[in-house]
Amino acid sequence: MSFRNKVVLVTGASSGIGASTAVAFAAEGARVAIVGRNEKKLAITAGKCEQKGSKSLIIAADVTKDEDVKRILEDTINHFGKLDILVNNAGIAPNASILAPETMETFDATMSTNLRSVVYLTHLAAPYLVESKGNIVNVSSVAGLAIVTNNRSAYAASKAGLDHFTRCVAFELAAKGVRVNTVNPGPVRTDIMEADGITDEQRDAMLAGARVPLGRVGEPEEIADVILFLASDKARSVTGSSYVSDNGMVMSVHTKMSLVNK
């Protein structure tokens, strides 16, 4: 899967799945624009890309701010001259009960980060992707599919919305030769729960308790592998798909239901 001379834009590349994805693209020869708010962490990702032989473009930006989203696209095109692949990965997963007083603040922040920013970035990137016959990979979640999560209804709604937005845009852009897909990870070992004050030890204990048939937790590099596959020519017939990488979590939900139905 060589991405030599391809230009890839990855949001949320300062950490976790996005950082691993940027490095994996760099290792395959891509030129990568990496986006996040934390410049120190972006510099670490850039260093890892450089070790793979690719000098990346750091764009410190907040995807919830329209002026920042515009700048993300402008900087990428000004620097690289084109765009082949957009990976909309930046996301938050706040822990908040529907009974909590801050319900609407949580909902707005989650939708703004996980869905609205994707809509705007897709709108701005689409003309360039039409030109390059490129593609988009959106990082969704099993929470947008069959998995119901406690105290994360805004997160689940944002990811379900992202999945259907993806299908609609995939349909619309298919005639123009642009593919659009999601990867839907199950639990992955990253810092996403850090914002809720959850320590690495607490996170690992929670992940160990997740019911996954393969009995293991995902690693960011494994999700990056799926993203690279979806972005590659090997997936040239794949569009409008939600590609699950969850160690069997969604399957186990369906299996339990079919047992009940017997």
Residues that bind ligand NDP (CB under 6 A): 11-18, 36-38, 41, 62-64, 89-93, 113, 139, 141, 185, 187-188, 190-192
CB of 206 to ligand NDP, least distance (A): 10
Would you list the DSSP string of 184-247?
Answer: EE-SB-SSTTGGGT--HHHHHHHHHHS--TT---B-HHHHHHHHHHHHSGGGTT--S-EEEEST
Cβ-count burial of 85 within 10 angstroms (0-12 exposed, 13-18 middle, 19+ buried)? buried
CB of 67 or CB of 133, closer to ligand NDP: 67
Counting Cα atoms < 13 Å in the Cβ hemisphere of 189 gives: 12
CB of 56 or CB of 141, closer to ligand NDP: 141
CB of 213 to ligand NDP, least distance (A): 17
CB of 193 to ligand NDP, least distance (A): 8
Distance from chain centroid for Cα 71? 20
User: Within 10 Å of residue 119's Cβ, how many Cβ atoms?
Assistant: 15
CB of 56 or CB of 113, closer to ligand NDP: 113
Catalytic residue list contains 120: no
Interatomic CA distance for residues 139 and 69, integer angstroms: 17
CB of 148 or CB of 260, closer to ligand NDP: 148
CB of 214 to ligand NDP, least distance (A): 15
The set of catalytic residues is: 155
